[in-house]
Amino acid sequence: MKNKLTLADFGSDFEQLITTQSYDKPPQIEGVRVIDLRLMVDDGGSFAEVVRLNETGSLEAFPEFQVRQTSFSTVLPGAIKAFHLHFNQEDVWFVPPYDRLLIGLVDVRKTSPTYKASMRFVLGGGRAKLMYVPRGVAHGCANIWDKASSVFYFVNQQFDITNPDERRLSHTIVPDDFWRITPG
């Protein structure tokens, strides 16, 4: 068996550039929940239950969440739709498994134990998941791929164009590389 290599075995032009990828669980934001849905795939296609309502009309996956409106959005390649937040509204997002969006969340609630924490992950991308976003957590998405993607979202209050509960923050509240594909 050959001897193991160490950093000293690599050229000086590269030894400072060699890193180890982190496999730690990414940071979580208090109150944000992402749940796996059952995606059943067969030779004819696929099927997933996205929303199941209980007897009171609440989402079974999030029983305290009462759906008041369901919306749909298309995000074109290269678009960054971030950030926005709500004072009263809460969201549940679903990106179809054969679409793909990079999701970005930032906790801007000053009394939260995860204040200033950010999360970055993909919805869609071959998986069926629901994401719950509590009020006060800035959220958005980017389509960094080459085809349009869809997102369905369920909210606990109806949109009021005369008094919208939607506030904006710049997508630049996170580092520039946040909205890019991670190389390597």
Domain-embedded: residue 166: yes
pLDDT value of position 69: 94
pLDDT value of position 17: 80
How many angstroms separate the CA atoms of 172 and 178, rounded? Answer: 9
pLDDT value of position 156: 94
The enclosing domain of 49 has a CATH number of 2.60.120.10
pTM equals 0.85
Q: Are 156 and 89 in contact (CB under 8 A)?
A: yes
pLDDT value of position 46: 87
pLDDT value of position 127: 95
Domain-embedded: residue 14: no
Mean pLDDT in runs of 10 for the chain (184 residues)? 80 81 84 92 89 87 91 96 95 96 96 95 95 96 96 94 92 91 78
Domain-embedded: residue 7: no
Concatenated DSSP letters of 105-170:
EEE--TTSTTTT-EEEEEEETT--EEEEE-TTEEEEEE--SSS-EEEEEEESS---TTS---EE--
Domain-embedded: residue 117: yes
